[in-house]
Structure 1
Amino acid sequence: MTQTVLIIGAGQAGARAAEALRTHGFDGRIVLVGDEAHAPYERPPLSKDVLTAQSDADCFKGWVHPAQLYADARIEWISDRVLQLDPQRHVAVLEQGGELRYDHCLLTTGGHARQLPGMPEGPHTFYLRTLDDAMRLRSRIADARSVAVIGGGFLGLEFAASARSRGLDVSVFESASSLLSRALPPSIAERLRLKHEDRGVRFFFDAKPLSLQAHATGVQVNDMPFDCCVIAIGQEPDDALARAAGIATDNGIRVDRHCRTSAPDVYAAGDCASFPYGPADRAVRLESWQNAQEQALVAARNIMGESVAYAPTPWFWTDQYDWNIQMLGWPGIGVEQWIERAGADGKTVLMGLREGVMVQALAVNQGGELRALRRLVEDAMPVDATLLCDPTVKLRQLERLIRSTQSGDQGVLV
């Protein structure tokens, strides 16, 4: 009998899982159901390219696959909403009518923008999560002169940079007393703030409580008038379907190391999944391009009967103005010492140590250097801080040098 894999959620994770099933030899039926009218796409361009492109026709190229791939790979993509999932009967009920029976189900439902209480989306107030959101916002800022940004996280700052490149006056309201204190080393967070301010962005910190009122022609934030407002205060996992089906949830859909949920033959991956990590099996959830990509591939292989554990080394990036910031390791892991290697033209690499072990690394316009540091972070190798401080020791030599020192080999590295 032909096996059916049902993937609910047609974003990056869902599309990559469908592709991986075919790549690894699954010959059964693959059904990919998503509640957007668009084919699967990647989200990073929404806060950047979509908003800054010169023409509507060229503003988005972030499709996960060429459209023809779905037909060629026999992947049935359905634009519909799943109203109910019945894990006992192995059935999903569609909003437009009918049921889909499955042998295995993968939930890649992602997340949705966290809502500011009492402030729904409107003609001048925007949340940014979907391609439709980005296109509506693109249309609005085309004739706007000023915009308020609620939230000084990565999404809010990426939008602020895009809006400044379009010539808008931008004000960012952040509830904390500084930017990105849990995500970036203080020195980089401060430099990023200055970069935004040098380009004309105004910051209002400790902005709580916040007064936001929408009216016919714009909005008022703390009694200051703006043409429009973007609310970027985080994301919440879309786990409602799983909860209604009796599947265990806790800050997302709970899965084990093999992406299995508490329901038989149901898996989850991507932004919606909370998975165990580290020796203590701490439940974590990652909202990143990397996680959507890699966890989906692991889930697909396990659906096919393999036994592959998901143990990522988190990698994030953000593009703002002429800066590409890449981060390796878990944010907020508790760095005791940051060591910086500054280069020319603002390029820099920072390495974070805790108890003599490199646990994080960050690069500004030097993403290639993180590849040299990845194994040190992944293997939790003890690192001599003097080596990191020595500019004569190239970062690409570090791993070999450290391993040779530990093994007693004192050979010369060139």
Structure 2
Amino acid sequence: MENGAAGTVVIVGGGHAGGNAAALLRQYGYEGRIVLVGGEPVPPYHRPPLSKAYLKGEAALERLWLKPRAFYDDSRIELKLGVSAESIDRAGKTLGLSDGTTLAYDTLILATGSTPRALTIPGHDLDGVLMLRSLADADALRTRVQPGAKLAVIGAGYIGLEAAAAARQLGHQVTVFEAAPRVLARVAGEAVSAFYEREHRAQGVDLRTGATIDAFVGEGGRLTGVKLASGDLVPADFALVGIGVVPETALARQAGLPCADGVEVDDDARTADPSIFAIGDCAHRPLGHYGRAGRLESVHNAVEQAKLAASAIVGKPRPACDVPWFWSDQYDLKLQTVGLAHGHDTTIVRGDPAARRFAVYYLKDGALLAVDAVNAMPDFLCGKKLAGTGVKLDADALRDPATDLGQFAAAALAPG
């Protein structure tokens, strides 16, 4: 084992990445001290249900925990909750905390995550303008948005559309505002965007793309509406701002660690300081299947990087990395995306969007970059096998709805 197997690993961040890193260190045989520092007063938990099942009241609080509380005691993982990390002394290998104490470390893992991008327009501080990133945010949204309330959603990415779907299913009036010409513009292709726009409108959502918001307006300090650049004033009791996130790099920057769009790390999730790792949303990592680096926001990425860091710390061989994958649940639709479509030159649609079961394949020079699959598990599994491999595919066979995808993938990957 390296990096002091009998020493102390301190993990900053109680999200999916940090929680998994702590558990994996013990699973991989680390015998030293493990301390997890979390700014929230609760143990690590699953975040995806916050905009879906938990928001609708279909998932109990206990189902959110990554591990039962007893797991941490049994595994000798110390939880310092409700306290944040404020500074790193790399020379002295200590971490300064918001309660005035310090923690000595032999190895430090930064799993600081990301924070919602603010919409700093007039009225952004009105009561009723909310964001959704934490359990506390979800609780505030659940308890304050009553049946029949008028909800404005700013941003039509995963979080915005998932929350809009949940709100409609709860009987709320929902208006979604998106500045881009289409929904999901950052994460999906045009065919998928058009499909979800139709679905949300069919469910009664007032969906407005190309919409610029000038201000939130209110009375007595409380939100009453959303004012558009067009001059329209749309009544709203609450507004959920979901216009993306920014990586939380303040702690790394204070310590002088190189940062781009996130904390820069190598293939082992190690920063420029060999004693400090960065994982999850906050990390700018190599994307080996695509020959470049970037930042990923997904549960899969959080778990994968936790495995990389834990393996490096205990001296295990580096685990193989998957092609990135993501998912989104809206109404009875499951969107599963595998790979990164940036730079594609060919698009192939398999299935019928009107039947609410189809997939979009994105290729470049005949090789598969990514797949968006809507209620289409076979296409998603095919994509997991072929995306990022560089293998040239028979586009005509892929277009043919009679093609067996399992056999197609096996033939494409066969030697020779």
TM-score w.r.t. length of structure 1: 0.92
Summarize deviations over 1:258-309 as a string: whole Å, max 9, x none: 1111223000000000012248853300011110111111111112234527
- Give the corresponding residue for 1:58: 60
- Give the corresponding residue for 1:388: 398
The alpha-carbon deviation at position 213 of structure 1 amounts to: 2.3
Summarize deviations over 1:172-214 as a string: whole Å, max 9, x none: 1111111123322212211110110011101222212532224
**Please, which of 242, 263, 274 is the counterpart of residue 284 of structure 2?**
274
- Give the corresponding residue for 1:190: 194
Contact 2:350 2:401 (C-alpha < 8 Å) held by counterparts:
no
- Give the corresponding residue for 2:129: 125
- Give the corresponding residue for 1:145: 149
**Please, which of 47, 66, 69 is the counterpart of residue 67 of structure 1?**
69
SS of residue in 2 equivalent to 1:138: helix
Contact 2:177 2:211 (C-alpha < 8 Å) held by counterparts:
yes
Summarize deviations over 1:313-369 as a string: whole Å, max 9, x none: 110100000100000111434242223134994222222221111111121112244
SS of residue in 2 equivalent to 1:159: helix
Q: Which runs of 5+ in 2 are unaligned?
A: 228-232
Residue 36 (1) aligns with residue 40 (2): yes
Q: Distance in 1 between matches of 2:266 and 2:313?
A: 13
Q: Distance in 2 between matches of 1:97 and 1:211?
A: 39
How do residues 364-403 of structure 1 correspond to structure 2 at under 5 angstroms?
364-403=374-413
SS of residue in 2 equivalent to 1:194: helix
SS of residue in 1 equivalent to 2:402: coil
Q: Distance in 2 between matches of 1:310 and 1:282?
A: 17
Task: Call closer, same or farther: CA 1:36–1:342 in 2, change over 3 Å.
Answer: same
Farther-moved stretch of structure 1 (63-72 vs 205-214): 205-214
SS of residue in 1 equivalent to 2:260: coil
- Give the corresponding residue for 2:174: 170
- Give the corresponding residue for 1:100: 103
SS of residue in 2 equivalent to 1:41: coil
Q: Distance in 2 between matches of 1:121 and 1:308?
A: 46
SS of residue in 1 equivalent to 2:336: strand
Residue 84 (1) aligns with residue 87 (2): yes
The alpha-carbon deviation at position 88 of structure 1 amounts to: 1.2
Q: Percent of aligned pairs with the same residue?
A: 36
TM-score w.r.t. length of structure 2: 0.92
SS of residue in 1 equivalent to 2:304: helix
Task: Call closer, same or farther: CA 1:98–1:310 in 2, change over 3 Å.
Answer: farther
- Give the corresponding residue for 2:274: 264
Contact 2:379 2:405 (C-alpha < 8 Å) held by counterparts:
yes
- Number of matched residues? 404
- Give the corresponding residue for 1:349: 359
The alpha-carbon deviation at position 373 of structure 1 amounts to: 3.0
Q: Distance in 2 between matches of 1:387 and 1:311?
A: 28
Task: Call closer, same or farther: CA 1:103–1:281 in 2, change over 3 Å.
Answer: farther
Task: Call closer, same or farther: CA 1:266–1:45 in 2, change over 3 Å.
Answer: same
- Give the corresponding residue for 1:288: 298
Task: Call closer, same or farther: CA 1:280–1:42 in 2, change over 3 Å.
Answer: closer
Q: Distance in 2 between matches of 1:402 and 1:121?
A: 55
**What amino acid maps onto 1:380 in structure 2?**
G
The alpha-carbon deviation at position 399 of structure 1 amounts to: 2.0
The alpha-carbon deviation at position 122 of structure 1 amounts to: 4.7
Summarize deviations over 1:128-178 as a string: whole Å, max 9, x none: 100000000101112552011111111110110011011111111111111
The alpha-carbon deviation at position 94 of structure 1 amounts to: 1.5
What's the RMSD between the two structures over aligned residues? 2.1
Task: Call closer, same or farther: CA 1:343–1:192 in 2, change over 3 Å.
Answer: closer
Farther-moved stretch of structure 1 (302-311 vs 214-223): 302-311
**What amino acid maps onto 1:109 in structure 2?**
T
The alpha-carbon deviation at position 68 of structure 1 amounts to: 1.1
Summarize deviations over 1:25-75 as a string: whole Å, max 9, x none: 100100000000011001100001122116xx9356221111111011110
Farther-moved stretch of structure 1 (10-19 vs 114-123): 114-123
**What amino acid maps onto 2:112 in structure 1?**
T
Q: Distance in 2 between matches of 1:14 and 1:403?
A: 35
Q: Distance in 2 between matches of 1:270 and 1:86?
A: 22
Q: Distance in 1 between matches of 2:343 and 2:280?
A: 21
